[in-house]
Amino acid sequence: MFFWFLAIGFVLVALVFDSPALDYRMVMLGSVLPMVELLAGGPWALHTLLAPLAVLVVVMLVTRGRRLARRRWLGLPIGLFLYLVLDGAWLRTELFWWPVFGAQLDSADLPDFKPWAALIALELIGLAVGAWAIRRYGLADRERLRLFCTQGRLDRSQMGSTRPRRG
């Protein structure tokens, strides 16, 4: 479900925050990072509420007084939180609230990947939303794509709001 997390996470944050200056690459990284645990036989800490909260606290402490660095790195915990929502991790109480209900993370908490049709449908939705986002945010344009790839930013003229922006 790679594109499901990647595209939906990016679009949700772009639509909700409506910020051209947020580093959307970090949001996208955070929204797929917990999948690494599944490849390693997880789930582990990245599938819990503790991980994005800890990352958020670290980002806030490390970037204190450095607004631009904070804006860049805040995308990572935002993406981690989105993964938990989009994965439905909050439905698995012992995993989501770890270590509140015990220190052991059981492999029985792995998501059930048997309904292949549902997985394929979610990936197709992710691809469709990704294609929509490319058009919506003008990422087919070379300069806008360069801005996105090098700085993680979106062109201000492509954002939904017309209100004046600060910083």
Domain count, the chain: 1
- Give yes or no for a contact between 146 and 139, defined as CB atoms under 8 angstroms apart: no
Kindly state whether residue 166 falls inside one of the protein's structural domains: no
Kindly state whether residue 25 falls inside one of the protein's structural domains: yes
Kindly state whether residue 39 falls inside one of the protein's structural domains: yes
Rounded Cα distance, 102 and 141, in Å: 50
Q: Is the pLDDT score of 135 beyond 80?
A: yes
Residue 84 is predicted with a pLDDT of 94
Kindly state whether residue 164 falls inside one of the protein's structural domains: no
Rounded Cα distance, 45 and 20, in Å: 31
* Residue 97 DSSP symbol: T
90: Cβ contacts below 8 Å, ≥ 6 apart:
49, 84, 96
Mean pLDDT of 17-29: 92
Could you tell me the sign of the dihedral formed by the alpha carbons of 83, 134, 138, 26, in that order? positive
Kindly state whether residue 55 falls inside one of the protein's structural domains: yes
pLDDT tens digits, residue range 139-152?
Answer: 999 999 999 999 99
Residue 106 is predicted with a pLDDT of 62
Rounded Cα distance, 143 and 41, in Å: 40
Rounded Cα distance, 80 and 144, in Å: 25
pLDDT tens digits, residue range 66-108?
Answer: 988 998 899 999 999 999 999 988 888 888 888 887 767 665 4
Rounded Cα distance, 154 and 21, in Å: 7
Residue 133 is predicted with a pLDDT of 96
Higher pLDDT, 71 or 27: 27
Which ranges of 33-74 would DSSP assign to H, the alpha helix?
A: 35-39, 50-62, 67-73
Residue 99 is predicted with a pLDDT of 80
Kindly state whether residue 14 falls inside one of the protein's structural domains: yes
Kindly state whether residue 167 falls inside one of the protein's structural domains: no
Rounded Cα distance, 132 and 38, in Å: 28
Residue 97 is predicted with a pLDDT of 85
Rounded Cα distance, 23 and 159, in Å: 14
**Residue corresponding to tokens 């805040």:** 74
Instruction: For residue 90, give Cα distances in angstroms to 48, 63, 76, 81, 95.
Output: 8, 29, 19, 10, 8
Kindly state whether residue 20 falls inside one of the protein's structural domains: yes
Higher pLDDT, 163 or 103: 103
- φ and ψ at 152, to 5 degrees? 75, 10
pLDDT tens digits, residue range 34-76?
Answer: 999 888 877 788 989 999 999 999 999 999 999 889 988 999 9
Residue 162 is predicted with a pLDDT of 46
Q: Which domain holds residue 35?
A: 2-103+111-158
